[in-house]
Amino acid sequence: MGKDLYNILGVTKSATKAEIKSAYHKLARKYHPDVNKDNPSAAEKFKEISAAYDILGDDEKRKKYDNNEIDADGKPTGFDAGFGGGSPFGQGGFYSSSRGQGANFDFSSIFGDDIFSAFGGGTQGAYQGFGASSRRPRKGEDINYTMRIDFLTAVRGGERQVVIGGRNINVKIPSGTVDGQTLRLKGLGAPGHYNGENGDVLITLNVDKHPYFNLEGQNITMELPITIKEAVLGAKVTVPTIDGQVAVKIPPYAGSGDKLRLKGKGLKNRNGQGDQLIILKIVAPRSKNTELEKVLQNMPDENVRTF
């Protein structure tokens, strides 16, 4: 029985194209001759998995292989078998240039980035025949990362330590950050290729909800529960802000929905600084209060509705 290309890559026949590519990527890095200089058999294994991917990674060739129209070497089966069929890389796979087939193969079509750059530019010796176009300077890939931060850190700014690609990165979060904002860390992404610049790290910030603060543009809003007594007689109460607690005066005969403004206590960014808006909410007692009932019963009726 001939060799099974799916077994060579360690995937099932129902594997998706992405799964096949991922399997090849891992195996190619594992058996690449540049990282197996003391293991001669690695080169043969590398040729084998590369030839397997040449067929299974191509939709048309994979279909022909599955339909038994070509064999594991890419050669036609049946009537056409004796008429020049074969692997597009020649009988020597990736290492053969006797017919010029492998000379212009660009590994970037498989990896998105040239595999050789991961091994210190190992294009020497057997690999110098590959296309010069794959060796032009190219920027490394960007790395995307999502970070959750609390509301106060987003408003005030701060720093967070994250591990990306095995490296500890100190992320400075600017004050006035809003949910969904993306930070770009230049040059901290994947290495560039052939003297190309490194990629970037793109960090998307998701801001957690706060127990009582909300953001409306650059203004921070909060709802302040007050008693009937505080609403009617007025009061001095302590309220939280992003900079700590402050005392505010509730004017007499305040109503639910009335707003108090704390100037300059909102979100600060390059567009300026907002305020903190305190929205009053009158809360009736939850337990029976006989004295309050008597007072209210003795009050004259007042029409507060306009409908």
- What is the predicted pLDDT for the residue at 91? 39
Pairwise CA distance, residues 273 & 271, whole Å: 7
Candidate from 28-32, 78-82, 110-114, 171-175 with smallest mean pLDDT? 110-114
pTM: 0.52
Whether residue 291 has pLDDT greater than 80: yes
Provide the pLDDT confidence category of residue 11 given band limits of 50, 70 and 90: very high
Across the chain, mean pLDDT equals 82
* CATH number belonging to domain 5-135: 1.10.287.110
- What is the predicted pLDDT for the residue at 301? 85
Asked if 5-135 and 143-207 have one fold, the answer is no
Candidate from 15-29, 70-84, 142-156, 286-300 with smallest mean pLDDT? 70-84
- What is the predicted pLDDT for the residue at 90? 40
pLDDT in tens, 109-142: 444 444 444 444 444 444 444 444 457 898 989 9
Which of 112-123 are b and which e, b meaning 16 or more Cβ less than 10 Å from the residue's Cβ?
ebbbbbbeeebb
Provide the pLDDT confidence category of residue 38 given band limits of 50, 70 and 90: confident
Domain locations in the chain?
5-135, 143-207, 214-298
Q: What architecture is domain 143-207?
A: Sandwich (2.60)
pLDDT in tens, 179-216: 999 999 999 988 888 888 999 999 999 999 999 999 99
- What is the predicted pLDDT for the residue at 134? 53
Q: Match domain 214-298 to its CATH number in 3.40.50.300, 2.60.260.20, 3.30.1330.60, 3.40.440.10.
A: 2.60.260.20
Angle at 41 between CA 40 and CA 43, to 5 degrees: 80
- What is the predicted pLDDT for the residue at 105? 42
Pairwise CA distance, residues 274 & 19, whole Å: 50
- What is the predicted pLDDT for the residue at 40? 78
